[in-house]
């Protein structure tokens, strides 16, 4: 779990080293640890190998050790020991002192190799002198700077070969080595002693100082009176150094307690809170150095040495580097560009890294060359990646749909062509020679660009802004610009074309999942998430019939925002919390412990990057933990992020009861008994009200009240106030209670008590409705009944298999083979004109206790209750109830006969084939296409005109087609 | 009485975003930021992990069980813009279909009533709502309502198939021709009702009351009454109950259930449609019931993920 929060890669312990200083060579292959008796050479490629040792005899500890930063002299390192500097050379696994520099009269406090001249070394001492040595002539220093006060730090400027800075108690002096007599500038930097001094890697005027007065200050020595910026800490700061990537700063605190975490990474753009804490060392970090990057590597590595006698190597991956870049001011732009793959951020940082480690040169091509030749003035330290346009082009990630970029590095230009819907955009981008060092490319639309000129202007402006913002920091801008262009076009097109013009908006999502994946993970919590709702972390759902399933955040998870502040609405809010913008932290009071979680940079696996959703809550959690169990390493504790899912039985809150569902009966033959038993059942579950209702139902269904079939004898009970009206009131009441169980049961019982005249197994018909059916019906006779009854439906025979009914025919024409639908009879029966019949019908309606007008609603009650019974697993009970529905739940679909055209064999509907436009079937007797009434054998599929068939089968029983089928027997009519 | 019958430790590695039981209440599906969907057999108070479905590449926001008549089918939607439909065949869960037609996070999935066949509505942050209909043979028909909600769609919920009014004038003997309808809520603060007409989805109604993003909508199950009811909840902390007595479904009236202090994320109706479970950013679950006189009252309180639903004695009157 610890690995999740820190980016530590390698830990090697050197128990006996007792080293006081450490340095990493310019190739990144070795680190030297200087102990009193030995110097240990650690192979950084294989750090766990036993280190090589170089013995030394001295009673003094090594004060400072430093490798020569130039490749040509990469085997040389200097180590100060009291008043002397020993120059070691390390070749083929052996090291020895090849020369010593002696001149200081008191202990040497610091030394620094020149960034420009491989032979030059500066040393500072408490003897008040600063000596610049030419190692080719070791007898005496070439330059001696007299400072009057003893110096604690001395550093060469990284951009100007003549400048150097030294710290003297709380002051900083800037020296020009050509004018050794007096310092060029004095800066009264701190009130307490300065422990650390570091020049800005890219700016020759800017440096940072760290001091005993609990602060890091940033200075421009041209304005010595006022610092540029301050980083306030609550403990003395031992060292503060710029990172090789842009805008980063690493500090080491002087811890007040052991085990306190003191190694922090900051963004110089936002000094409110560190962006990362390197957690692992148990004691004071004595020295930290950046390991020069391997060619092609995206990661930087920080090598640290601590008093806990461990050497650790930390990976600082592009994600973490990016955190240093993130700028509150440029929120939108930045986020847009950050959404892209990590390669992008890397490429944009490469020029910086180049500059920071090795001295910069304006001409990039030149720098390229110097790398190979080595040994010349610049970039010897850097194993890194020279930044040329060519390289940007090769690294740029432009897997965007509908966009094509043709890059021409030789002519320093590229053509971006994009197709969106009906629009095309062709854009020529030209890169000036200085690009990307504060020189923006130009953008020009060329034909055949089809977008309106207003939009061109708009896009041009956006692109110019984007590129300027990037090059101002010497960063590449091609990819951000192209992405801007795309998003711009997309949004505009969407507005313009509306929802109909889908295809072009579907950019990435339709690409294969694998490709979309990295993008997704990286965009989490970013700008694009602004319209994605904030994830639910608690919820409740009614499930099944009587369960409530709910989950909540674990109790240990707390919101970092005060409870009065509402939960953010969108996912993008997470990124704000994540990057610390909204939770400014004060050092020591909070951050020491929260940082670990908070700075859990997305370093390790992809998995961690996406789990940010919970960061918002975890933060507080850790603090809570702290109060409870001080000092435990909760980095190792598995943190419970998922709460439990609780299933609760809430059926008692519902108006329906499973027990009742089981015990209720519906006995059509004895309604009285049904009611009484159901009343008892209701009483058993404590539903007194329902028990009373059943008592009422029992009374209402009493035989004495059963209506007379003669309409003239008496008013049916249903018309009595206690009849239908009472029932309706009851139904109303239970409707309000949503007691669908009682509703459905009542409806079923009363329906059973007075079955509709046309037998409830058939469809019930409302009189007003049935009147419209007869004409309607005759045009669409039902196939279903005939096919079901016939049973011989294996209609696979070759020619024509069908039962076709012709439009416009009356049902009288139904022939001996096909059976007319029962509907015919029913409607025939209902289509009466006898007034007595109508009266009887009316009486029928009146005598029913359930208002027939609401039949459909009653059916719905039954259907819904049936559904609930089904969920309870009471399938038979469900069938019991649905039996009383006037609409059977699933009308039987039966079998439908299809017609295959006898000419082209395609499936046809009706008499004409849709494919070949010919009549689909022929009469087996006259061989003429059949248009009118026809009949076919369901077994062999042969048939023809009804009249011909009837004639034929009057005399024969075999098929007229000669297939041998005994059609009359097969089709059992 | 109200009692906890099961407490399932899901062992998800990250926060849970949804949990839902199947039709019979025998299985529980959960989904989480750890990108997985898990299925547990929870019969008889047990909790046996049946399946751990991996396939999403981002946090999974919601799951939905299909009606069992189609088999054991589960749909899940995720931040990774995908909707995955999982099916159990011979005891093994596998992907049945993966829908990638959305351009942003898919926030909600909901299966339509079984009467319509296997049909799934998906609401996405790209503003669109997709309707996936199974047409047999592993084929899915996709209909997309583009720009259903500007900025994004956060929730979808189907109307029950028994929609009063739609049954009137059904030709007898044929399967009732229900109108497919569903409700959606989005970042435009609107609740929208959609209706299928001639195979095309049309916006039927637009309900305005919320002052911030609508986070969830729930169409109450029908018990056969002529009233349609919808609950909606929002970032603004309000929960509204929308009712419509009009058979044509045109006049909806809103009633404020309660104004909470924090965002309300989820509303869920009981099977009889008379109790509403409300949950939100305050980490609490409350149950609300409509009294006989039409007032909504809180009948319970689940808080802090520890307590059980306990019916509170003094039914606190809602603000109306």
Three-state SS annotation for A784-814 = HHHHHHHCCCCCCCCCCCCCCCCCCCCHHHC
Q: Which of residues 225-264 of B touch A (CB under 8 A)?
A: 225-226, 235, 237, 261-263
Q: Which of A571, A489, A494, A569 is nearest to B105 (CA)?
A: A571
Residue recorded with tokens 């209750």: A865
Which pLDDT value is given to residue A578? 40
Q: In the Cβ-directed half-sphere of A451, how many Cα atoms lie within 13 Å?
A: 26
The CA radius of gyration of chain A, in Å to the nearest whole number, is 45
Contact A686, A655 (CB under 8 A): no
Q: Which residues of A touch B171 (CB under 8 A)?
A: 776
A744, A855: one domain: yes
pLDDT digits (tens, 9 = 90+) for A834-871: 667 777 777 666 666 777 777 777 888 888 888 888 88
**Alpha-carbon gap: B92 to the closest alpha carbon of chain A (Å):** 23
Residue A805 belongs to a domain: no
Helix (H), strand (E) at residue A418: strand A413-420
CATH number of the domain residue A968 falls in: 3.30.40
Q: Which of residues 205-224 of B touch A (CB under 8 A)?
A: 212-213, 215, 221-224
A923, A879: one domain: no
CATH number of the domain residue A422 falls in: 3.10.110.10
d(CA A483, CA A486): 5
d(CA A729, CA A736): 11
Using a CB–CB cutoff of 8 Å, tell me whether B315 touches chain A.
no
- Judging by beta carbons within 10 Å of its beta carbon (0-12, 13-18, 19+), is residue A864 exposed, middle or buried? buried
The CA radius of gyration of chain B, in Å to the nearest whole number, is 19
A717, A855: one domain: yes
DSSP label at A724?
Answer: I
Nearest residue, CB atoms, A552 vs list B59, B271, B283:
B283
> What residues does A23 pair with on adjacent strands?
A32
pLDDT digits (tens, 9 = 90+) for B234-293: 999 999 999 988 777 788 999 999 999 889 999 999 988 889 999 988 888 899 998 877
Burial A904-934 (b: 16+ CB within 10 A, else e): eeeebeebebeeeeebbbbbbbeeebbeebb
Contact A33, A17 (CB under 8 A): yes
- From residue A596, alpha-carbon distances to A3, A264, A275, B14 in Å are 11, 11, 10, 18
A736, A871: one domain: yes
The answer to whether the bond into A654 is cis (omega within 30° of 0) is: no
Query: Could you tell me which residues come within 8 angstroms of residue A858 by beta carbon, excluding any fewer than 6 positions away?
Result: A747, A751, A850, A886, B224
Kindly state the tokens that stand for A336: 């847009």
Nearest residue, CB atoms, A614 vs list B15, B167, B266:
B15
Q: Do A736 and B22 touch (CB under 8 A)?
A: no
Q: Which of A603, A42, A27 is nearest to A290 (CA)?
A: A27
3-state secondary structure A283-304: CCEEEEEEECCCCCCCCEEEEE
Q: Which of A693, A574, A174, A327 is nearest to B15 (CA)?
A: A574
Which pLDDT value is given to residue A839? 73
Query: Could you tell me which residues come within 8 angstroms of residue A670 by beta carbon, excluding any fewer than 6 positions away?
Result: none
**Alpha-carbon gap: A772 to the closest alpha carbon of chain B (Å):** 10
Contact A675, A749 (CB under 8 A): yes
Residue A899 belongs to a domain: no
A855, A934: one domain: no
Q: What's the pTM value of the predicted model, to 2 decimals?
A: 0.51
d(CA A935, CA A488): 67
Nearest residue, CB atoms, B7 vs list A611, A646, A735:
A646
Q: Do A859 and B224 touch (CB under 8 A)?
A: yes
Using a CB–CB cutoff of 8 Å, tell me whether A615 touches chain B.
no
Contact B55, B66 (CB under 8 A): no
Residue A956 belongs to a domain: yes
Q: Which of A463, A459, A522, A467 is nearest to A491 (CA)?
A: A459
Residue A626 belongs to a domain: no
Q: Do B235 and A569 touch (CB under 8 A)?
A: yes
DSSP chain B: --EEEEEEE---SS-EEEEEE-TTS-EEEEEETTSEEEEEE-GGG--EEEEEEE--SS-EEEEEEPPGGG-SEEEEEETTS-EEEEEEETTEEEEEEEE---SS-EEEEEEPPGGG-SEEEEEETTS-EEEEEEEETTEEEEEEETTSSSS-EEEEEEPPS--TTTSTTPPTTSPP-PPPEEEEEETTSEEEEEEEETTEEEEEEEEE--SS-EEEEEEPPP-S-S-EEEEEEETTSEEEEEEE--TT----EEEEEEE-SS-EEEEEE-TTSSEEEEEETTSEEEEEEE-TTS-EEEEEEEETTTSPPEEEEEEEEP--
Q: Which residues of A touch B213 (CB under 8 A)?
A: 533, 569
Contact A667, A673 (CB under 8 A): yes
Residue A779 belongs to a domain: no
Give the range of the structural domain holding residue A422, as residue numbers without chain letter. Answer: 394-488
Residue ranges in chain A modelled with pLDDT below 70? 1-9, 255-261, 319, 326-388, 391, 394-401, 473-474, 491-529, 555-565, 572-640, 703-719, 752-835, 843-848, 886-898, 909-910, 971-973
Query: Could you tell me which residues come within 8 angstroms of residue A244 by beta carbon, excluding any fewer than 6 positions away?
Result: A201, A290, A293, A300, A352, A353, A356, A357
Residue A459 belongs to a domain: yes
Q: Which of A273, A294, A326 is the last residue of a domain?
A: A326
Three-state secondary-structure class, residue A111: strand
**Alpha-carbon gap: A394 to the closest alpha carbon of chain B (Å):** 28
How many helices and strands in chain A, by DSSP H and E? 27, 39
Q: Which residues of B touch A529 (CB under 8 A)?
A: 105
d(CA A89, CA A729): 106
A405, A473: one domain: yes
pLDDT digits (tens, 9 = 90+) for A339-364: 333 333 334 344 443 343 333 334 43
DSSP label at A819?
Answer: P
A242, A290: one domain: yes
Beta strands in A454-579 (DSSP E): 539-543, 547-551
By C-alpha distance, the chain B residue nearest A538 is B283
Using a CB–CB cutoff of 8 Å, tell me whether B288 touches chain A.
no
Interface size, chain A vs chain B, as Cβ–Cβ contacts under 8 Å: 336
d(CA A563, CA A509): 37
Beta strands in A815-920 (DSSP E): 899-900, 907-908
Nearest residue, CB atoms, B30 vs list A524, A538, A645:
A645
Q: In what order do the strands lie in the sheet with A285-291?
A: A8-13, A310-316, A300-306, A285-291
d(CA A752, CA A149): 113
d(CA A507, CA A227): 48
Q: Do B187 and A531 touch (CB under 8 A)?
A: yes
Q: Do B187 and A533 touch (CB under 8 A)?
A: yes
Q: Which residues of A touch B14 (CB under 8 A)?
A: 611, 613-614, 641-642
Q: Do A533 and B223 touch (CB under 8 A)?
A: no
Q: Which residues of A touch B152 (CB under 8 A)?
A: 531-533
Q: Which of B122, B128, B121 is nearest to B149 (CA)?
A: B128
d(CA A271, CA A275): 9
A733, A678: one domain: yes
Contact A26, A77 (CB under 8 A): no
Question: For residue B72, what pLDDT band results from cuts at 50, 70 and 90?
Answer: very high
Residue A189 belongs to a domain: no
**Alpha-carbon gap: B280 to the closest alpha carbon of chain A (Å):** 6
d(CA B141, CA B137): 11
Q: Do B107 and A645 touch (CB under 8 A)?
A: no
Q: Which of A326, A353, A372 is the last residue of a domain?
A: A326
Three-state secondary-structure class, residue A943: strand
d(CA A213, CA A536): 46
Which pLDDT value is given to residue B176? 55
Helix (H), strand (E) at residue A936: strand A934-936
d(CA A544, CA B272): 11
Q: How many domains does chain A have?
A: 4
Residue A260 belongs to a domain: yes
Helix (H), strand (E) at residue A81: strand A76-81
The answer to whether the bond into A436 is cis (omega within 30° of 0) is: yes
Contact A723, A704 (CB under 8 A): no
Burial B268-307 (b: 16+ CB within 10 A, else e): bbbbbbbbbbbbbbbbbbbbbbbeeeeebbbbbbbeebee
In this prediction the ipTM stands at 0.89
Please give the distance of CA A575 from its chain centroid, rounded to a whole number: 13
Contact A414, A393 (CB under 8 A): yes
Which pLDDT value is given to residue A517? 30
* Cα dihedral: A173, A177, A179, A184 (round 10): -20
d(CA A747, CA A727): 9
Contact A431, A441 (CB under 8 A): yes
Using a CB–CB cutoff of 8 Å, tell me whether A545 touches chain B.
yes
Q: Which of A457, A488, A519 is the last residue of a domain?
A: A488
Q: Which residues of B touch A545 (CB under 8 A)?
A: 25, 271
């Amino acid at each position: 779990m610890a690995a999740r929060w820190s980016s530590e890669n390698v830990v090697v312990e050197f128990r006996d080293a007792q080293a006081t200083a450490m340095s990493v060579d310019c190739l990144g292959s070795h680190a030297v640890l200087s102990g009193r008796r030995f110097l240990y050479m650690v192979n950084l490629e294989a750090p766990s190998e036993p280190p090589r040792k170089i013995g030394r005899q001295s009673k003094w500890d090594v004060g400072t050790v430093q490798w020569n930063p130039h490749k040509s002299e990469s085997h040389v390192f200097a180590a100060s020991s009291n008043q002397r500097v020993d120059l070691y050379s390390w070749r083929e696994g052996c090291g020895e002192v090849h020369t010593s520099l002696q001149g200081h009269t008191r202990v040497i406090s610091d030394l620094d190799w020149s960034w420009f001249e491989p032979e030059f070394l500066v040393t500072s001492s408490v003897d008040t002198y600063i000596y610049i040595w030419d190692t080719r002539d070791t007898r005496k220093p070439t330059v001696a700077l007299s400072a009057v006060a003893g110096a604690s730090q001395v550093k060469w400027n990284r951009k100007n070969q003549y400048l150097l800075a030294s710290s003297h108690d709380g002051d900083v002096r800037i020296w020009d080595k050509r004018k050794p007599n007096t310092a060029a500038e004095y800066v009264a930097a701190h009130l307490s002693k300065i422990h650390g001094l570091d020049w800005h890697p890219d700016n020759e005027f800017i440096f940072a100082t760290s001091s005993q007065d609990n602060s890091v200050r940033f200075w421009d020595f041209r304005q010595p009176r006022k610092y540029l910026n301050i980083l306030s800490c609550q403990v003395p700061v031992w060292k503060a150094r710029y990172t090789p990537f842009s805008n980063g700063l690493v500090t080491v605190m002087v811890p007040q307690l052991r085990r306190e975490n003191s190694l922090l990474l900051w963004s110089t753009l936002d000094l409110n809170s560190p962006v990362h804490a390197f957690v692992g060392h148990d004691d004071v970090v004595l020295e930290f150095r950046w390991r020069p990057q391997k060619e092609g590597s995206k990661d930087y590595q920080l090598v640290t040495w601590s008093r806990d006698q461990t050497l650790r190597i930390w990976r600082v991956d592009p994600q973490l580097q990016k955190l240093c870049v993130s700028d509150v001011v440029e929120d939108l732009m930045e986020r847009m560009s950050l959404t892209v793959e990590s390669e992008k951020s890397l490429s944009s940082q490469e020029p910086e890294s180049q500059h920071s480690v090795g001295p910069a040169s304006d001409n990039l091509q030149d720098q390229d060359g110097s790398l190979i030749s080595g040994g010349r003035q610049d970039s010897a330290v850097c194993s890194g990646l020279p930044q040329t346009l060519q390289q940007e082009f090769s690294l740029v990630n432009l897997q965007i749909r509908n966009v094509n970029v043709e890059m021409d590095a030789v002519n320093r230009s590229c053509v971006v062509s994009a197709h969106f819907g009906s629009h095309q955009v062709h854009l020529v981008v030209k890169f000036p020679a200085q690009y990307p060092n504060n020189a923006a490319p130009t953008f020009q639309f060329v034909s055949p660009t089809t977008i309106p000129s207003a939009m061109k202007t708009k896009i041009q402006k956006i692109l110019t802004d984007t590129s300027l913002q990037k090059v101002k920091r010497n960063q590449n801008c091609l990819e951000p610009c192209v992405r801007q262009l795309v998003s711009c076009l997309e949004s505009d097109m969407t507005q313009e074309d509306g929802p109909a013009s889908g295809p072009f908006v579907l950019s990435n999502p339709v690409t294969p999942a694998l490709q979309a994946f990295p993008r997704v993970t990286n965009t989490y919590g970013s700008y694009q998430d602004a319209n994605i709702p904030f994830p639910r972390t608690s919820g409740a759902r009614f499930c099944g019939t009587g369960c409530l399933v709910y989950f909540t955040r674990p109790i240990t998870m707390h919101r970092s925002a005060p409870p009065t502040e509402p939960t953010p609405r969108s996912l993008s809010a997470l990124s704000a919390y994540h990057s610390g913008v909204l939770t400014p932290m004060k050092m020591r009071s909070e951050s020491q412990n929260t940082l670990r979680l908070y700075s859990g940079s997305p370093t390790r696996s992809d998995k961690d990057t996406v789990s940010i959703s919970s960061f918002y809550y975890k933060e507080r959690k850790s603090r809570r933990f702290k109060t409870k169990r001080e000092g435990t390493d909760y980095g190792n504790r598995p943190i419970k992020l998922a709460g439990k899912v609780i299933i609760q039985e809430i059926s008692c809150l519902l108006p329906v009861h499973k027990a009742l569902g089981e015990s209720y009966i519906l006995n059509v033959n004895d309604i009285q008994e049904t009611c009484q038993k159901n009343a008892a059942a209701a009483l058993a579950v404590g539903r007194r009200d329902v028990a009373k209702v059943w008592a009422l139902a029992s009374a209402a269904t009493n035989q004495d009240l059963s209506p007379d079939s003669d309409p003239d004898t008496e008013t049916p009970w249903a018309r009595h106030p206690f009849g239908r009206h009472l029932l309706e009131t009851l139904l109303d009441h239970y409707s309000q209670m949503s007691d669908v169980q009682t509703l459905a049961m009542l409806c079923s019982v009363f329906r059973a008590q007075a079955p509709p005249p046309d037998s409830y197994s058939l469809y019930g018909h409302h009189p007003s409705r049935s009147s419209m059916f007869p004409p309607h019906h005759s045009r669409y006779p039902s196939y279903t009944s005939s096919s079901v009854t016939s049973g011989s439906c294996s209609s696979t025979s070759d020619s024509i298999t069908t039962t076709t009914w012709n439009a416009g025919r009356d049902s009288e024409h139904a022939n001996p083979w096909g059976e007319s639908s029962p509907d015919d009879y029913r409607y025939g029966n209902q289509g009466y004109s006898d007034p007595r019949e109508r009266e009887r019908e009316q009486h029928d309606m009146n005598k029913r206790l359930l208002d027939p007008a609401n039949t459909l609603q009653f059916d719905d009650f039954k259907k819904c209750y049936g559904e609930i019974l089904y969920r309870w697993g009471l399938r038979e009970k469900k069938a019991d109830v649905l039996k009383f529905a006037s609409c059977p739940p699933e009308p039987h679909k039966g079998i439908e006969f299809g017609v295959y055209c006898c000419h082209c064999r395609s499936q046809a509907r009706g008499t004409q084939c849709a494919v070949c436009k010919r009549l689909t079937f022929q009469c087996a007797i006259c061989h003429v296409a059949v248009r009118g009434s026809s009949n076919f054998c369901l077994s062999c599929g042969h048939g023809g005109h009804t009249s011909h068939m009837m004639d034929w089968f009057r005399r024969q029983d075999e098929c007229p087609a000669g297939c041998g089928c005994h059609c009359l027997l097969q089709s059992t009519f | 009485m109200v009692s906890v019958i099961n407490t399932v430790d899901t062992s998800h590695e990250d926060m849970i975003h949804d949990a839902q039981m199947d039709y019979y209440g025998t299985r529980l599906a959960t989904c989480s930021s750890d990108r997985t969907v898990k299925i547990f057999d929870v019969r008889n108070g047990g909790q046996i992990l049946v399946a751990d479905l991996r396939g999403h590449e981002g946090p999974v926001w919601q799951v939905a069980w299909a009606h069992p008549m189609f088999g054991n089918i589960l749909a899940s939607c995720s931040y990774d813009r995908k909707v995955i439909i999982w099916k159990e065949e011979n005891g093994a869960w596998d992907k049945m279909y993966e829908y990638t037609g959305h351009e942003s996070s898919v926030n909600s999935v909901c299966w339509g009533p079984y009467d319509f066949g296997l049909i799934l509505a998906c609401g996405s942050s790209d503003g669109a709502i997709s309707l996936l209909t199974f047409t047999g043979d592993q084929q899915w028909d996709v209909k997309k309502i583009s720009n259903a909600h500007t900025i994004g769609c956060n929730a979808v919920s189907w109307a029950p198939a028994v929609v009063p009014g739609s049954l009137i004038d059904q030709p007898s003997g044929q399967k009732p021709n229900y109108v497919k309808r569903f409700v959606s809520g989005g970042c435009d603060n609107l609740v929208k009702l959609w209706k299928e007409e001639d195979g095309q989805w049309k916006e039927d109604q637009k309900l305005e009351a919320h002052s911030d993003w609508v986070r969830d909508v729930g169409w109450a199950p029908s018990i056969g009454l002529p009233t349609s009811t919808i609950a909606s909840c929002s970032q603004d902390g309000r929960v509204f109950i929308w009712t419509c007595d009009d058979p044509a479904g045109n006049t909806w009236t809103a009633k404020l259930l309660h104004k909470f202090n924090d965002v309300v994320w989820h509303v869920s109706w009981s099977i009889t449609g008379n109790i509403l479970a409300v949950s939100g950013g305050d980490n609490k679950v409350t149950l609300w019931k409509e009294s006989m006189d039409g007032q909504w009252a809180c009948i319970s309180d689940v808080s802090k993920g520890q307590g059980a639903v306990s019916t509170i004695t003094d039914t606190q009157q809602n603000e109306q």
